[in-house]
Chains A and B, each alone.
Chain A
Amino acid sequence: MGQSTVSPQEAQGQIGSAAPVAGAVPDGDCLLSVENLQVEFNTKRGHFRAVDGVSWSVNRGETLALVGESGCGKSVSALSVMRLLPRPAASIVGGRILFDGCDLLAESESGMRHRRGRDMSMIFQDPMTSLNPVLTIGDQITEPLRNHLGLSDQQARQRAVELLEMVGINEMERRLDQYPHQFSGGMRQRVMIAIGLACNPRLIIADEPTTALDVTIQAQILEMMRDLTRRLGITLVIITHNLGIVARYADRVAVMYAGRIVEQGPADRIFRAPRHPYTRGLLRSVPRLDRVRGALLETIEGYPPNLYEKHRGCHFAARCELVTDLCRNTAPSLLAYEGHEVACHLSDRGLPADSKPVLAGGERELARSDVLLEVVNLNKHFGGAGKGLFSVATALHAVKDVSFTIKRGETLGLVGESGCGKTTVGRMILKLESASSGDIRFDGESLITASAARIRDLRQRIQVIFQDPYASLNPRMTMGETLLEPLTQCLDLSPKAAQDRVHELIDQVGLLRDVKDRYPHQMSGGQRQRIGIARALAFGPDLIVCDEPVSALDVSIQGQIINLLAGIQAKLGVSYLFIAHDLAVVRHISHRVIVMYRGKVVESADCDRLYEEARHPYTRALLASAPVPDPQIERARQGQILQGEVGSVFSSQQGCLFANRCPMATTECHHINPPLEEIAASHFAACIHHPAVVNQRGSAS
């Protein structure tokens, strides 16, 4: 195609010179523009407008990020471009989509089929389900080449080899004949990208391309996507909820809220001087690694509007601090201000200075003596010797010699990538999984040797909050029944006392009492998670195992839940085992943090110390891979990313498990199994090179 790559500076220049007209399309080199798009959904529950007059455009060679929370219409507006909306539920009721000057909505279905995969291709979120499991990778990559470009089998295969090389997969010839299950998640996403690139498309739409991947793999994939699109002059539209990714990779940003665009413009401007209160709130509520840790996170209070109901005014009005009567009654239109576009009645007045300064130094003090939970050399094998008649004996050593303690009123953060065994540790403490060896002592009493009757009593004192707030509530029970159950089943309260307690619990988690009669599907994610917390509290526990409690929630809701958990701890003195993959979230709530890798603890330290002076190379790679929502920091940052992928959990590897990915590994590392050593006061790391880590860090800075 031979388009020249447009640098972000040039792209900005074009926006800056655009006339300040509502919904203005940047002139000149526009490849795709969506104009006043309206999409409606007809579902069993009713009728709603998922996308309500949305306009965005992207120039050739540029990277646009569509940002917003779940249900804001970002995916729907991108699927409309591909004309892949679910039928008959969704229908486009208005607007135009111009691709290279040609209206895609007027295109015939066969014309669209011709374009998909050839002019424009799409990369989906979940690489595990978007490849066909019964076809080889080679078949799937060559498919578009044979269909769209009419290449012969041999030509197509040759091109497939090139493509695999381009996306960084080695041993291309051999890999082509393998099936998707022989690839890891990150590798599958590379294959998806190779398929997307196959016909040299002019546009790639990537819908949350790395959300299902671990943070170190995410960094690899995004770096690669950016390099490829720059090199080949491909226009990229990334749909994401992660502001860090936006800051790192996008030239321009469109922020969506409840079916409308609230703000769009060059990434630098949006991050530096957001004008819409929602954008600003979103940027502030992200827990960040590069900022001082405050006692409370800033949040946007309230929940997104229910789109089944009609709203007259600004969709954000109900949650906005600056709301006026005008906002409640008239929807603002998107107008240009100083190089970017904002849909807010108050944008010309500018936003007031930070109304809620970050509370620093409000550290919760602990009486650090009383040990509540002690985990000693905990191990877990799955499978093991074949139990059933025909099962194959494959031992999976999921948790290896894990030890830690949690004190009363303390939060212990347990961090690691998927499959590192962190959830299994939590499940063993909850007795949902039995330990293979080792001991768990709760309040001085061993959970391993306790009788079944005793376990039933102890269970009330160890409670759990799950990741998916929807799946963790019985869909056939109302919230009132869910909360009443522990009170009448386990605590034997009288009906009257139980009712009062239910009200108290609902108040405690900040919900209105009328949620009592609702079923899970009638509430939003954040509300469900609050009920999940209330259910755990109903038992009056001493310890709550929080298994990724905020990772399924939107950014603006995440902060609310973390603040709620912190507040409950301050008031009731419960302890948390906080399991998560997001380092920034863990940092915010934990007193101590443990990092796990492939079943082993690699580092543990007090929270602030770990983030400031991480000693293990894996911890440091994790910290470096997490993008921060600030374009200046992100662009200055060298792409210091971890190579390779997490090894198979089945392999019984000698030496340090991290050695094959470690940037500082020596031959010794492959032979010596590093013990967890105390390298400073209550700071442990399992790396034979940890002093060198410090030196390297010292010389680098």
Chain B
Amino acid sequence: MAMLTRSFNNALLFCRLQPLGALGLLIIVVMAGCAVLAEQVTLYNPEAVDFGAMLSGPSSEHPFGTDSFGRDIFTRIVYGARTALTIGFLSSMIGCHIGAAIGIASAYHGGWVDLLLQRFIDIILSFPIVVLALVVVAVMGKTMVLGIDLNLVFAIAIPIIPRSCRVIRAATLSIRTQPYVDAARAGGYSTVYILLRYIAPNVIAPFLVLLTAYIAQAILLEASLSFLGLGVTEPKPAWGLMLAGDSANFYNEAPWMILFPGLAISLSVFAFNLFGDSLRDWLDPKYRN
């Protein structure tokens, strides 16, 4: 109980000190809520074709209009949030964490470990993102878990790893030479302890920025892969797919087909960035007086 009240107080304090972050969090929560309760908040079936209502503009029946198959765009965006948020969040989390772990280990150990790891990272970096993801998807096929293609998540996470690794390695290199790390080494603490207690908390700022930025990247990458037919496939709703599919053919007649999925992507990216920035400040004792 005491823990509950304390976390509630902390949440209140967060809202007061970081109003923008709280706004971001609110948007994320609403989106996630819609994704979970998609059946309850929408009126149509996302895959139901209605040629009578093809390409109709926003109206009271179809608030965001319909697409070239007469499917309700609002419904498809709500269902699409499931795919976008899960794939975006999961792959960014996986990619950034693995990258950060490699980056910290590589920078802290230095020497030949650093050399080998970094050359390996260079190899991954030398493939264009889409090509790399394409290869992974093509080789591994599909592994569906709870309606999410896990292999797609990995395919998107892998190109994120070297990028996150580079940034975190650079941050670690500068932290590693700080006297407080020397003091910890002189204290005889174990390497794992130093990494967890001294290095990791001090690279959290760039890490959070990376994490939120790559959620957006992951959603876009998912869109590209879907466009190439390797990600989510029609008729399943996904934001990227909605942007990429044949909406481009109708941008003159039905601009809402691009506008609303695009807005959904932007809004989610914006929300994650807002929240990420505030979380970074919140976790920094310097800005929490």
Contact = CB atoms under 8 A, between A and B. Distances in A.
Task: Answer whether A and B are interacting partners.
Answer: yes
A476 B185 contact: no
B187 A474 contact: no
A459 B178 CA distance: 19
Contacts of A539: 187
Contacts of A532: 183
Given A432-B185, A473-B180, A476-B201, A44 B287 contact: yes
Interface in B238-255: none
Contacts of B287: 44
Contacts of B185: 432
Nearest to B198: A474
Contacts of A464: 182-183, 186
Contacts of A460: 187-188
A539 B184 CA distance: 12
Interface string A404-436: 000000000000000000000001001110000
Given A387-B111, A519-B285, A471 B201 contact: no
A174 interface: no
Given A45-B289, A476-B201, A519-B286, A459 B182 contact: no
> What band does the interface of chain A fall in when counting residues whose beta carbon is under 8 Å from B?
35 or more
Max count, chain A CB within 10 A of own CB: residue among B187, B189, B202: B187
B182 A466 contact: yes
Nearest to A461: B188
B187 A472 contact: no
A485 B187 contact: yes
B180 A474 contact: yes
B278 to A, nearest CB: 14
Contact of A430 (B186, B193, B198, B285): B186
B128 interface: no
A432 to B, nearest CB: 5
Contacts of A490: 187-189
Given A45-B289, A475-B286, A476-B202, A459 B179 contact: no
Contact of A475 (B188, B189, B285): B285
Contact of B187 (A459, A466, A521): A459
B193 A489 contact: yes
A527 B126 CA distance: 50
A417 to B, nearest CB: 21
Contact of A466 (B111, B183, B198, B202): B183
Given A389-B115, A475-B202, A486 B187 contact: yes
Interface string A519-535: 10110000000001001
Nearest to A390: B115
**Would you call the interface of chain A mostly helix, strand, loop, or mixed?**
loop
B180 A472 contact: yes
A472 B115 contact: no
Contact of A476 (B111, B115, B179, B285): B285
Contacts of B286: 475, 519, 521
A155 to B, nearest CB: 45
B127 to A, nearest CB: 23
Contacts of A430: 182, 186
A432 B186 contact: yes
Contacts of A388: 112, 115
Nearest to A391: B115
Contacts of B189: 485, 489-490
B172 to A, nearest CB: 14
A486 B197 CA distance: 13
B111 A489 contact: no
Contacts of B201: 474, 476
Interface string A210-227: 000000000000000000
Contacts of B180: 471-475
A285 B179 CA distance: 28
Interface in A577-598: none
Given A489-B189, A489-B193, A535 B179 contact: no
A457 interface: yes
A466 B182 CA distance: 9
A468 interface: yes
A486 B187 CA distance: 7
A463 interface: yes
Contacts of B285: 475-476, 478, 519, 521
Interface string A25-44: 00000000000000000001
Contacts, number: 75
Nearest to A456: B188
A404 B201 CA distance: 40
Q: Which of A455, A473, A474, A539 has the most CB of B within 10 A?
A: A474
A462 interface: yes
A472 B177 CA distance: 10
Contacts of A478: 285
Interface string A226-261: 000000000000000000000000000000000000
A414 B23 CA distance: 57
B186 A463 contact: yes
Nearest to B202: A476
B186 A474 contact: no
Contacts of A474: 180, 184, 197-198, 201-202
A583 to B, nearest CB: 24
A678 to B, nearest CB: 33
A456 B286 CA distance: 32
B182 A432 contact: yes
Interface string A43-78: 011000000000000000000000000000000000
Contacts of A455: 188
A12 to B, nearest CB: 46
Contacts of A387: 111
B112 to A, nearest CB: 8
A471 B186 contact: no
A478 B284 CA distance: 12
A103 B289 CA distance: 40
Nearest to A522: B289
Contacts of A522: 289
A473 B179 CA distance: 8
A662 B178 CA distance: 37
Interface string A467-499: 110011111111000000110011000000000
A257 B197 CA distance: 39
A522 B115 CA distance: 39
Nearest to B115: A388
Nearest to A455: B188
Contacts of A472: 178-180, 182-183
A473 B180 CA distance: 5
A457 B188 contact: yes
Nearest to A473: B180
Nearest to B283: A476
Interface of B: 111-112, 115, 178-180, 182-189, 193, 197-198, 201-202, 284-287, 289
List the 8 shortest-distance A-B pairs measured between CB atoms, nearest first: A459-B188, A472-B179, A466-B179, A476-B201, A519-B285, A456-B188, A474-B180, A464-B186
Interface of A: 44-45, 387-389, 427, 430-432, 455-457, 459-460, 462-464, 466-468, 471-478, 485-486, 489-490, 519, 521-522, 532, 535, 539
6 contacts: A45-B289, A459-B186, A463-B186, A474-B197, A485-B187, A521-B286
